Structure 1
């Protein structure tokens, strides 16, 4: 099945449910950056949660940025998420050495670290962006986002996320789920959700088992009453272009542009978020410099 995001209500509408299948988009991230397994797991988990968080935005003009830095060997994990559920992201060290925990699983918390923060910055097209920051709890991503929702947005939330990486570094399966208590949720609703969560298999295994089924069926199998609100396709998507890179080049100092023209005879610009490479010829750089001068006149 293709990547998809489902939104639903359960427990007579008192609990919000999000489920995302993200195998293809995490595979694309792996391919674009040649991610090693721990990097795939860390970035993949963040992309998976990001796609659901982006879909919580109210306007197509809004977006949010997730920044995780636990001062571990992977460095920074950064993800941009959009209102349509599309995401993009990168890690500072895509080739972080593979670490395993005592259970033999990828040690995401070990490579991310815990001596740092998770920050969510929302661009809501207002005068100032909204920012929420929490201390990392485990570096395992899911627990850290649950803590963020509960503390920063004051919404009791459970987050389950998983990425299964094959020995050849390809992505076998990836997905995530968010369960949020709405203000009128009861103690019984909380108990039901806790019971469901306790009985769940690892999220990556669930995505494997439901690969030929719909996310609607997964939601129905989890809860007795499900009101499906929407399903939508999601993907790894970056809005970069050569035109945008040209505008970025126009912001650098004249002397640096002149050095690119006369010494390098061109420039190569790489997008941090998708690793796409854009080539600029000497003449194109001359045109950018002349345009800068013209706008000052």
Structure 2
């Protein structure tokens, strides 16, 4: 069964909310990248927050990408999502060894860092990309998504995400939520939401109840205090087939592909988002090289023809 994200609106129409249980999704991503315990939490939180942001802001065939560069030892945290529930991502250093706080808890803020930027790129068919940027305020990820969303849309919002690990470094639970004020929300309702957030049950506890996203919504908004709007199945974006990587290789200069054949006897390509490896034998590269050489030869011939036409025009 796929992980689920649920969209609701409170019955007083003061807030809309999104909640997700993405335990399976995060475990698949952690396994694909062979992520360490602390990298798993960072990547998992980023994937969940990105998926929530996508569901809250995208429509149709729009897509968005998020890049966090906090100057911490985890490196860049990069994620992408579409409006249909597909998300993917990676961190620069997935095997980073755990760093803990004084209370022996994983130091997520410390490994992400808080001296850099948070960048969102939105892509829509037939439109120029939209680029939004803010500072990283904490490195805890949920706080940074909240800050960006509040700054970019000027709407009171809060995103919370959490990933809990088992002793064997598998994912015990992973989930999150977004609550966003609607135009009719009063100051009193905003104050009440703030109070409810402060006394909210930890996400790990809620998800352990096996009620999925409903457990989060019931605890935060109150059971029977909201109306469901939609439910979306979410999961990791599909890995491009080997043929897609072959097409990418065809864009390289011939001398680079020739070097792969002569020096390495083949080529190994690792999908940055999936961690999956694709190997090209020398014979496969020879076929690709033949197409590149034909393309380069044709381009050279076209350039010669253009030069001759130019000389004729001058005469």
- Return the TM-score normalized by structure 2: 0.88
1:217 to partner: Cα distance: 5.2
Which stretch has the larger CA shift, 63-72 or 50-59?
Answer: 50-59
CA distance in 1, matches of 2:103, 2:179: 26
1:165-191 Cα distance to aligned partner (Å, 9 max, x none): 122111111101100112222223212
Where do 5+ consecutive residues of structure 1 fail to align?
Answer: none
Q: Is the 8 A contact 1:52 1:85 kept in 2?
A: no
What's the counterpart of residue 214 of structure 2? 216
CA distance in structure 1 between the partners assigned to 2:110 and 2:215 by the alignment: 35
Give secondary structure in 1 for the equivalent of 2:40. Answer: helix
Residue 129 of structure 1: how far off its partner (Å): 0.8
| 1:227-246 matched pairs, under 5 angstroms | 227-246=227-246
Cα deviation for residue 104 of structure 1 reads: 2.9
User: 2:301: which partner in 1?
Assistant: none
Q: Which moved more, 1:171-180 or 1:214-223?
A: 214-223
3-state SS of paired residue (2:208): helix
CA contact (8 A) 1:174 1:204 kept: yes
Q: Secondary structure at the match of 1:263?
A: helix
> Secondary structure at the residue paired with 1:56?
helix
Q: Which residue of 1 is the match for residue 14 of structure 2?
A: 14
Residue 62 of structure 2 corresponds to 62
| Shift, 1:2, TM fit | 4.8
Partners of 1:83 and 1:106 in 2: CA distance: 32
Counting matched residue pairs gives 295
Q: Helix, strand or coil: the match of 1:162?
A: strand
- Cα contact 2:22–2:174 (8 A) shared by 1: yes
Compute the TM-score of the two structures, normalised by the length of structure 1: 0.93
Shift of 1:106: 1.2
1:273 aligns with 2:276: no
Residue of structure 1 in register with 2:292 after alignment: 292
**What are the Cα deviations for residues 216-265 of structure 1, in whole angstroms up to 9, with x where unaligned?**
35424533521101112211223421121111111212100111123322
What stretches of structure 1 move > 3 A for 4+ residues in a row?
57-60, 293-296
CA 249–170 in structure 1, closer or farther in 2 if over 3 Å, else same: same
Supply the distance in 2 between the matched residues of 1:198 and 1:51 (Cα, whole angstroms): 24
Deviation at 1:142, TM superposition (A): 0.9
1-structure distance, mates of 2:15, 2:194: 12
Task: For 2:14 and 2:38, locate their aligned partners in 1 and report how far apart those are by CA, in whole Å.
Answer: 36
CA contact (8 A) 1:15 1:189 kept: no
8 Å contact from structure 1 (residues 216, 228) kept in 2 = no
Question: CA RMSD of the aligned region, Å?
Answer: 1.8
Match for residue 171 of structure 2?
171
Answer whether contact 1:11 1:189 (CA < 8 A) is retained. Answer: no
Instruction: Flag the structure with larger Rg.
Output: 2
1:39 corresponding residue in structure 2: 39
Change beyond 3 A, Cα 1:155–1:126: farther
Would the aligned equivalents of 1:155 and 1:180 in 2 still touch at CA under 8 Å?
yes
Match of 2:30 in 1: 30
Greater percentage in helix: 2
| Residues 11 and 227, structure 2, Cα contact 8 Å, conserved in 1 | no
